[in-house]
Amino acid sequence: MIREKKGIGILLAVLFTMAALCFTVSDAHASTYTGKYWLKVNEQQNVITAYKKIDGKWKPIRAMLCSTGLGGTTPKGTFYTQGRWNWGELMNDVYGQYCTHITDDILFHSVYYTERFDKASQVTSQFNMLGQSASHGCVRLSVVDAKWIYYTCKIGTKVTIYRSDNPGPLGKPAPIKVYTGRYKYWDPTDPDPANPYYVIDAPTIRVSPKKPLTVQYGKKNYNPKSYVYAKDPNTFMNLKDFIKVSKVARYSSKKGKYVSDTFSTNKLGTYKITYTVTAPYGKSASTTIKLKVVDNLKAPVISGAKSRTVTWGDKNAVKGITAKQASAIRTSAMKVYIKAPGAKKYKIYSYQDAKNYRFAKTGKYSVKYIVKNKYAPYKAAKKVITITSKKGAVNNDPQLTLPPAFNAALVGTDGSCNTPLAVQPRISTDLITGISAVHNGKDVTSKLKIAIKGPSDADFQPVTAEEAAAWIFDCEGEYQIKYSVKNAYTPYQTVSKIVLVKVGGCS
């Protein structure tokens, strides 16, 4: 309780009057309370539970031991804080740190000191009473807790004082006991750097055993911090909101060590993430987790694999087909199995070879595409389609035209010839003029091939167009001149005509 001396009493009376004018809240106002914190004081258990409004809901964040009034002298009800003092004069010539006015002459304050401003004058036996009723009505706390209320909870903060067997959702903190061989000394929780007796424990930080060792590439809204928890053992305060990332490193196979990086599920690799939490009293703790971003859950996806029709002679068995897994393009890793018309077995081709594959027959081709997950080969995708090869306009035979005299000298399929072309030896003979080739309306005469087989030759010998334009037959006998032109689209389609030439006697 506040000491009622003449001067002090007048000052406090003024302060209380001002506070009443400024901060006394009606029931209607109480129902629309917009403050961030709500302090609930369990007078029976001597525990204060601090609540914070998070996402519209009151959540317990801190439990604090206290000493309420002996004999139920601490008033019950709901109040709103009305003022505060760094040092306040209390009853019986004693003093308290971090005083926050609750109602009338009731305060939150530290365990009392015999000397104002002398932090080594706190009565140790009274500190050891925290967790039990001991005051004249005020609510005593350790310095660290009184300071937290003083600096965290603004004037007008809601305070509810009640009685219950249940200490509260965070339980009742274990008391800190100090040596009482000395009548007075420092509060062991006072975070003042000069405190030789500071015994606040560091926060605890741990990783949930449910934390996965891996996370799939590209996972959205994934935060490894969700598996990290921290708590203040002094107050049972949940420190999760205070956890920060202090270091991230990703393993570099090129450098053979972990290097500084930022965590992302869009980057494969093994990460070390260090989390650090600093309690409101300044002490810190850290923990490091290892997490691997992988892409081994699903088979790749093959796109564009649909049965289709091609023209006989077309190339490319993988046209328009792609493969992709979450972290990589897998198109070039595809294996392509092709069973041609009339074949009993599939032949295996690489993606590049399948790209150059020519449909050399008409009919139905069964084509199977298989691609494996780069990091989990047992996860494979397969698509089977039918490619039908049909004859098209490009497959028409070229048209080879010869002069009339050459046409008359053509050799039939049975080897017969009606009117061989007669020429004289050692005379230049034009074997090319008047000959033309057309394919699908396009002049392809330049693609014409000419070969000559003499009386003593076992086979045809190729000659150039320039040579054929002024060919000289050296000896008499029968010569065969073969004119050939290939289908440019299906080169195995060749049109040939053979002209029989009879050369007169040699001199």
In whole angstroms, give the CA distance from residue 278 to residue 146. 19
Q: For residue 8, which phi and psi values (nearest 5 degrees)?
A: -65, -40
Q: Which helix (H) or strand (E) holds 23?
A: helix 6-23
DSSP string, 133-196: --BSSSEEE-HHHHHHHHHHS-TT-EEEEE--SS--TT--PPPP----SSSEE--TT---TT-T
- The one-letter amino acid code at 106 reads I
CA-nearest of 43, 31, 37, 173 to 100 is 37
Q: What is the largest CA-CA distance in the chain?
A: 158
SS3 content of the chain, % helix, strand, coil (to 5): 15, 40, 45
Q: Are 227 and 207 in contact (CB under 8 A)?
A: yes
The residues near 179 (Cβ < 8 Å, ≥ 6 apart) are 124, 185
In whole angstroms, give the CA distance from residue 65 to residue 45. 9
Helix (H, G, I), strand (E, B) or coil at 86: strand
In whole angstroms, give the CA distance from residue 312 to residue 396. 11
Active site residues: 109, 138
